[in-house]
Amino acid sequence: MGIAITEEHRALAASVHGFARRNITARGMDHEPFRAALAAQGLLGLHLPERYGGQGGGLQELAVALEALGEHCTPGSHLPTVLASAVIARATAAHPLPSAPAPAVNTPAQDASAVDASAVDASAVDASAVDVSALDAPVADAPPSRDTSLPVHGLLAGLADGTLTAAVALPGGARAAAAGPAATALGSPGADLFVLPLPDGRWAALDRADCAAEGLDGIDLSRRLAAVTAHAVPDDRVLGGVTSGLVADLAAVLLGAEACGVAAWAVTTAAGHARVREQFGRPIGQFQGVKHKCAAMLVALEHARAAVWDAARALDGDGPPDEAALAAGTAGVLAADAAVRCAADAIQVLGGIGYTYEHDAHLYYRRALSLRALSGDPGEWAERVAGLATGGVRRRMEPDLPEEAGALREGIRASVASLAGAEPLDRLARLAGEGWIMPHLPRPWGRAASPLEQVVIHQEFRDLKRPNLGIAAWAVPSIVRYGTPRQQERFLPKTLTGEIMWCQLFSEPGAGSDLASLTTKAVRVEGGWSLSGQKIWNSLAQWAHWAICLARTDSDAPKHEGITYFLVKMSSPGVTVRPLKEINGEEIFNEVFLDDVFVPDDLVVGQVGQGWRVARDTLSHERVALGDSWGPGSRHTDMVRLIGELGGPGALRPAALEESGRLWASGQALSALGLRVTLSQLSGGESGTASSVRKLLGMRHSQAVSEFCWSLAPASPYWNRMILTTRAFTIGGGTTEVQLNIIAERALGLPRDP
């Protein structure tokens, strides 16, 4: 998924990509016709009120566009100009808005596909070199600059229609300015406006005539930097209500959105090269080292996208200011770092060609490095995040639901109230009988709940605990889909009430993640089958009443065929369970030995020989379930609770404080990623490989939190247990390495292993 997840935002992203393909080369320069084309498309004013010639959108729309433009390494003044207008727009709340109509501006086109591609001649740009001094230079036929001696909000129209360009000083950004009061600004020294901090902490939008600006050498070849000093500050140019924190937050979102675009280009380019570049007789994308590198790039990108998306909606007003600051800090920690990592890894995958000046890879790497320097040190962002989180700030992660959710909620809330007043055993029977335990299942086992109804049920049942089915949560959907009516009636009611406990007999000593290599055999006998073999890593098998079990019924069939899905009674003769003591001292896993265990025909689920299809259904439910949970006691919220118990952030060493902020940002972005998946499903979209991405990130995050908390409290029995327990999280349910293969092959189209 891109930053865009709604239908409207995806259409916007596609439109901007179309515009960019016609009008941008990575080595192109920001000349006047290009800026006019941006304005004509409304891309300079997506986030501005319509009274100023804007599109009436917000930072979410602007972030979608910036990500798309970032994939094309948009040169010149576009980013600093829209950042400046975003800052100035925030100041209008501190000034009376003018009652007179705004100055007339050109009406921006609504559809990028309507742009006349001939309006911008990208071929006129010399692709062999970049003349930095020419960036943002005026051209002979440029329209006259707008009079900027207007009240501060009057500047927005000129920024929206392209007659004004701007540069913005970035708090905490690159410290490359000359000695003295000069501020380092993103933008050309020849810009019309400079948004700068004043010595008293206020900010102002100043004309070029009121400033002294010199160009600075930066690593980015297609975007200017300037050292700027103000020598006159008219009162009507002071941006009331604007603070350095606000400017930094807006920059984190907008620079972060472009960083996601840079990372997206890197992922696409690396994967495309890996699919076709051959070495040693096969595509390099088939080598696991390359495959995993590309998959890890995509994982980092999706993590960053979730953070930027959430920060954009927070700054658009979805939540109080402290939540917005926390969300922006999370984007500051993750986004630019992801771009640098992905751009560097793309060069690695490209090999020697990626290190040449002729290839565009170095331009994207330069852009990524520049964005990271300008948006601020991720470590400093992490310290800020840690301060907010330990101070009690929490980011709300709730979907904005459509109006029809209200009618659903009324009935569900009444049912919850009725259930809350029932006796415990009656309540359990009703939860199962009314379909509340797994509401997505078809009736009578669930409620055939739509994605919207599932979200409302989840929200309304927060204070009324529903049973945790454990392994049964993976088995029940497969029995519902493939089981016979008799099997469903026999097993499902008692499973949903907790009277039947299940385990899973899939993995074997020689067939873990490679499940189709199992060797447990099922031989046809009178009235059923005789199963023999060994299973391992079987959670809770010592207490289970029944098991879902895979066994090979046809040894001559291809690897993924000839496998049958059985229901095995764990008290059957020939079943031996031997608990395995784990590194944390507990006995959750088991070995299970099957010695001529009889299973009648009526306990085969699905067709004989087609068990792999049923197993895949079971495993898909397992991955979703694991993706929703990172394991008990290993969340970023538990980490902050521990820090409070130890005396608060002041008790941490600076390095530990920074690490806690990085972990919080990671966890918060994971929550945002989960919310994005939910919203995508609500709008009828597919999660794609999101469950694998979430599992991979979630399990690693859980381990990292446990390791960090143990380092703070090594004498704690709880964290002693958790640091050992979470070691299993990147193994169970599909190892990290298998998840990377799935992501690389399904999302990036890299060739499968032989």
Task: Give catalytic residue positions.
Answer: 622
3-state secondary structure 24-72: CCCCCCCCHHHHHHHHHCCCCCCCCCHHHCCCCCCHHHHHHHHHHHHCC
**CA end-to-end span of the chain, whole Å?**
28
Exposed / middle / buried, residue 545 (Cβ in 10 Å: 0-12, 13-18, 19+): middle
Q: CB-hemisphere CA count at 13 Å for 239? A: 28
Compute the C-alpha angle 58/61/64, nearest 5°.
145
Cα dihedral 471/474/476/482 (nearest 10): -140
Task: Identify the CA nearest to 600 among candidates 484, 696, 506.
Answer: 484
Q: How many residues does the chain have?
A: 754
Q: In the numeric block, which tokens belong to residue 344?
A: 């560097």
- Which residues have a Cβ under 8 Å from the Cβ of 285 and sit 6 or more positions away? 271, 274, 275, 277, 291, 294, 744, 748, 750, 751
Contact 700, 737 (CB under 8 A): no
Q: In the numeric block, which tokens belong to residue 38?
A: 């941006």
Cα dihedral 423/426/430/433 (nearest 10): 170
Dist CA 594 CA 516 (whole Å) = 18
Dist CA 146 CA 504 (whole Å) = 71
- Sheet containing strand 225-230, edge to edge, reads 203-207, 193-197, 166-169, 183-186, 225-230, 211-216
What is the distance, to the nearest Å, from the Cα of residue 89 to the centroid of all Cα atoms in its chain?
28
Peptide bond into 49 cis (omega under 30): no
Contact 170, 376 (CB under 8 A): yes
DSSP state of 394: -
Dist CA 210 CA 152 (whole Å) = 15
Number of H helices, E strands in the chain: 21, 16
Dist CA 698 CA 730 (whole Å) = 9
Exposed / middle / buried, residue 393 (Cβ in 10 Å: 0-12, 13-18, 19+): buried
Cα dihedral 253/254/258/260 (nearest 10): 10
DSSP string for 458-498: HHHTTTS-----TTHHHHHHHHHHHS-HHHHHHHHHHHHTT
What is the distance, to the nearest Å, from the Cα of residue 526 to the centroid of all Cα atoms in its chain?
54
